[in-house]
């Protein structure tokens, strides 16, 4: 390999390593951003009666938009990192193949040298031609050994880099997965707040308290699980729908449920449109490169 090729290869590897460092760093930063935004969203959603917000703070809609944007950026970065990891794996496979070839060449050349050493020994040093051939074969063996040592060192370096890269990617994915979970929790809290505000919009204090109690009871852990499954499977977020007062015996759309059919406040007036429950939650496989 020429000096120019070595410099080009080294520059390419350095650029690739730098790109991966930057990519992994930004992915971790986006995970942190998702966590912060999710925490802020939960703060907004904890009190459904608080509609005002401090000057300069984000609205719920703005929070959700920023969360979606951060998730999209992370997905793009993850795809870029996956390509870099694949390139490293390909390079490692190539170097390992080179090591295997060189090991065979070294073994073959060592056999040739050993055979010539026997011939020189039998000739008792009287054959100049044999001595010259032996020296040439020994020089070739030494050169092959140097190449093998270099290839083995390169393979070890690439193995370490790939292990570190995969570890960083795994860490970035895990941090972002946690942040995404916080985001889903925030969306559920926002949905609950919206439902309570829409259904229990007027009445005296006692009536409002009763209404909120019944609606909140209807938004139980099972409903929360269905809501989060819809968001996690990248389907449309569940929504609350009010039935037209003129409509008698309404037929609910598929995947829909009455909010609280026995409640005098919600009754057959409000229902929730969920999503197809058979679709699995979208997630990033720890060992894979793509979203499942």
Q: What is the pLDDT along the chain (292 residues), one digit of tens a residue?
A: 444 444 444 444 544 454 454 455 555 555 555 555 555 555 554 444 443 444 455 565 666 677 677 767 777 777 777 788 888 888 989 999 999 999 999 999 999 999 988 888 888 867 888 889 989 999 999 999 999 999 999 999 988 888 877 777 777 666 666 666 667 887 888 888 889 988 998 888 888 899 999 999 999 999 999 998 888 887 888 999 999 877 777 888 889 999 988 888 888 889 999 998 887 765 433 333 333 2
250 lies in a domain?
A: no
58 lies in a domain?
A: yes
Range of the domain at 84: 3-204
Instruction: Tell me what pLDDT residue 165 has.
Output: 75
10 lies in a domain?
A: yes
Q: What are the residues facing 284 on neighbouring strands? A: 291
Q: Are 66 and 37 spatial neighbours (Cβ–Cβ below 8 Å)?
A: yes
282 lies in a domain?
A: no
Q: Are 281 and 251 spatial neighbours (Cβ–Cβ below 8 Å)?
A: no
181 lies in a domain?
A: yes
Contacts 24+ apart (CB under 8 A), 25-28: 26/73, 26/77, 27/74, 27/77, 27/78, 27/81, 27/169, 27/172, 27/173, 27/176, 28/171, 28/172, 28/175
Q: What residues contact residue 195 under an 8 Å CB cut-off, 6+ apart?
A: 215, 219, 240, 259, 270, 272
Exposed, middle or buried: residue 231 (CB in 10 Å: 0-12, 13-18, 19+)? buried
Looking at the structure of the chain, the number of domains it has is: 1
279 lies in a domain?
A: no
142 lies in a domain?
A: yes
130 lies in a domain?
A: yes
**3-state class of 244 per DSSP?**
coil
Q: What residues contact residue 32 under an 8 Å CB cut-off, 6+ apart?
A: 175, 179
**3-state class of 243 per DSSP?**
coil
CA–CA gap between residue 147 and residue 265 (Å, rounded): 82
The number of residues in the chain equals 292
CA–CA gap between residue 129 and residue 119 (Å, rounded): 11
**The model's pTM:** 0.47
CATH of the domain at 154: 1.10.287
Give exposure, 236-261, as e/b (b: 16+ Cβ within 10 Å). eebeeeeeeeeeeeeeeeeeeebbbe
User: H-type helices in 123-204, by residue range?
Assistant: 128-199
Q: Are 27 and 177 spatial neighbours (Cβ–Cβ below 8 Å)?
A: no
Token pair, residue 133, equals: 């051939």
**3-state class of 288 per DSSP?**
coil
């Amino acid at each position: 390999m020429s000096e120019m090729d070595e410099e080009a290869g080294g520059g390419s590897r350095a650029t690739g390593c730098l790109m991966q460092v930057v990519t992994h760093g930004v992915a971790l930063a986006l995970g942190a951003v998702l966590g912060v935004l999710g925490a802020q969203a939960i703060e907004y959603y904890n009190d459904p009666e608080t509609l005002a917000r401090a000057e300069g703070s984000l609205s719920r809609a703005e929070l959700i938009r920023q969360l979606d944007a951060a998730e999209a950026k992370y997905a793009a970065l993850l795809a870029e990192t996956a390509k870099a990891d694949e390139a490293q794996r390909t390079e490692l496979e190539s170097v390992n193949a080179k090591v295997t070839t060189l090991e065979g060449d070294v073994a073959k050349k060592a056999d040739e040298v050993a055979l010539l050493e026997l011939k020189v020994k039998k000739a008792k040093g009287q054959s100049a031609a044999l001595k010259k051939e032996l020296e040439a074969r020994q020089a070739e063996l030494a050169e092959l050994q140097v190449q093998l040592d270099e290839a083995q060192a390169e393979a070890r370096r690439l193995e370490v880099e790939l292990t570190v890269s995969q570890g960083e990617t795994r860490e970035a994915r895990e941090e972002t997965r946690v942040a995404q979970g916080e985001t889903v929790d925030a969306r559920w809290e926002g949905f609950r707040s919206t439902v309570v505000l829409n259904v229990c919009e007027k009445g005296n204090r006692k009536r409002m308290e009763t209404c909120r109690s019944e609606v909140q009871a209807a938004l139980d852990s099972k409903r929360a699980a269905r809501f989060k499954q819809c968001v996690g499977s990248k389907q449309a977020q569940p929504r609350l729908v009010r039935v037209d007062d003129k409509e008698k015996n309404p037929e609910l759309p598929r995947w829909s449920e009455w909010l609280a059919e026995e409640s005098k406040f919600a009754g057959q007036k409000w229902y929730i449109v969920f999503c197809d429950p058979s679709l699995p939650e979208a997630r990033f496989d720890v060992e894979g490169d793509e979203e499942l």
